[in-house]
Amino acid sequence: MNLTFLGTSAGSPTAERNVSSIVLDLRQERGKLWLFDCGETTQMQMQKAKFSLAKLEIIFLTHLHGDHVFGLPGVLTSRSLMQNQSALTLIAPKGIKQLVETVNEISYSWLTYPLNIIELEENGIVFEDNQFQVEAKLLQHRVPCFGYRIIEKDLPANLDIEKLRQDNIPMGSHCDDLKKGKTITLNDGRIIKGSDYLGNINNGRKLAILGDTIACEASIELAKDVDLLVHEATQEHALAEKAIERGHSTTVHAATIAKQANAKRLIMTHISPRYNLNDNDKLVNEAKNVFANTEIAIDFATFRV
């Protein structure tokens, strides 16, 4: 499970940073990609990072400000130019359906694949299957904005094949029952407990990807005990008053949320255009004074979860 940042700038693109978009690469886990936010030129950034639109399964939008959504029409319609595309799910605050339908209507565009639109108005589970669960919570911004908590479900314990061999237990269909922890009787009369041949349960990974927000309780809840937290850090802390006035966080705010939530790792993004890449060390060091395991994202940076 890898997280690749396609855009890390707040408000408008710069020569060094595109606007908000993040790919959660689940090709190893489920053969698909999930996209979080879709600022302008996202499809170009995907091409540069060698991500195929055909692999998109779900697009999650945190809110409908332009720097998080203006790339969506291009992504949706370009995907229609590919043959035999699978269905796509779009999860976003209320209003996204009107936006998509209006753009398609006035631009005479159409989609050649099923698009399932889920509009968010309240907190809750927005996706769940046998592998993952995604929870959304409303944050505190100038417009309705959500953060997402992505939980990979625990993987079953592996069967200790070497121990089976050491105990002269033959391989066969009964191994499926042993893997489930069941007790079986072999042909030679031996009674074998599956629990004796299981390793440790493989704990699923957890991450939180938050939209634009001031520090709030919902952020802490979404980030509780996660392996990786993605939090906006629009301004340095000297500009805290300006950040809060516009519904944003500073480096110190992001670090404080990570610390309060007991997150293992913080990645800061959504950086004001006033800063260039040479300012990264200053911004990171400011956050590290509160939360040591802090990094800052740049475009095309990939982080292993």
For 239, other C-beta atoms within 10 Å of its C-beta total: 16
CA distances from 36 to 90, 187, 248, 279 (A): 10, 53, 18, 25
Residues 47, 50, 52, 57, CA torsion sign: negative
Q: Residue 47: how many CB atoms within 10 A of its CB?
A: 13
Q: Which among 164, 166, 172 is positioned nearest to 194, based on CA atoms?
A: 164
Neighbours of 10 (CB within 10 A): 26
* Active-site pick, 67, 129, 281, 299: 67
Tell me, yes or no, if 67 is annotated catalytic: yes
Cα distance between the two ends of the chain: 6
Question: What 3-state DSSP class applies to 122?
Answer: coil
Q: How many residues does the structure list for the chain?
A: 305
Q: Which residues contact 30 (CB under 8 A, 6 or more apart)?
A: 57, 131
Q: CA torsion, points 220, 224, 230, 232, in degrees to nearest 10?
A: 10
List, by residue number, the catalytic residues.
67
